Amino acid sequence: MKSFHTDVRVSELLSDIAADTPPEGLEINELLDRIGKEGMLAAVMMLTVPFLLPVSIPGTSTPFGVLIVLICLSMITGLPLRLPRRLGRIRVKQTHMRLIADKAAALLRRVDGWSKPRLFALTAAPPLRAAHAVGIIASSIGMMLPLPLPLSNAIPAYAIVFLSLGLLRRDGLLIALGYGLFAATCAYFFAVYALGAAGIRTLWGG
């Protein structure tokens, strides 16, 4: 797995792309071209934004999650990112890009400003970086689950942001926080399942 460390601030990158988006919008292929290969982790964070904030982009929630998985697989294997034609042709409207940029700017600026290189033991070794990409994939699967539960998308989405930014900044503390949020996601889903199963048993028992 190659290093995707970069000094780019994701909040600034997102604002720049939104400002340059033409009225007809951008296809996913065009968006990734503008970000560039070294910015794939920034792309992961951008694709996570609709799950973090009350921003709805009809028809893109599942494709965005699938795209995050494909980006991480490309990072792990070192193979070029190849998108299915239908996925790459999805168009994000100018209004949606600007809405995402406006809503996400303050949040991402805070995270950008707080992150810094530290706890290198969690980010230095290539096998560990590949493992963290697997963690992003697992979080994205949890993020895509169509569960009508409060925070069921947001918690794993924040895990993705912390893991991705931790890799970008070589910030082991953010990596640890990302896994903490992933663990919280698993605990939340398990608790909901356990409560639901208990409720069903109670109804059947009654």
Could you tell me the residue range of the domain that residue 44 belongs to? 10-205
- CA–CA gap between residue 37 and residue 140 (Å, rounded): 20
Q: Check: CB of residue 57 under 8 Å from CB of residue 96.
A: yes
Residue 148 falls within a domain, yes or no?
yes
Residue 2 falls within a domain, yes or no?
no
The tokens 């930014």 sit on which residue?
Answer: 165
How high is the pLDDT of residue 59? 62
pLDDT higher at 5 or 8: 8
**pLDDT one-digit tens code per residue, 153-170:** 888 999 998 999 888 888
pLDDT higher at 174 or 206: 174
Q: Check: CB of residue 120 under 8 Å from CB of residue 172.
A: yes
- CA–CA gap between residue 138 and residue 159 (Å, rounded): 10
How high is the pLDDT of residue 57? 64
Least confident of 2-11, 42-51, 174-183: 2-11
- CA–CA gap between residue 5 and residue 102 (Å, rounded): 25
Residue 51 falls within a domain, yes or no?
yes
**pLDDT one-digit tens code per residue, 105-153:** 767 777 777 778 898 888 878 888 889 999 999 999 888 877 777 778 8
Please count the structural domains in the chain. 1
Proportion of the chain above pLDDT 70, given as a percent: 88
Using the predicted structure, report yes or no on whether residue 183 has a pLDDT greater than 90.
yes
Residue 20 falls within a domain, yes or no?
yes
pTM: 0.84
31-47 burial code (b ≥16 CB/10 A, e <16): bbeebeeebbbbbbbbb
For residue 71, give the nearest of 1, 145, 126, 154 by alpha carbon.
Answer: 1
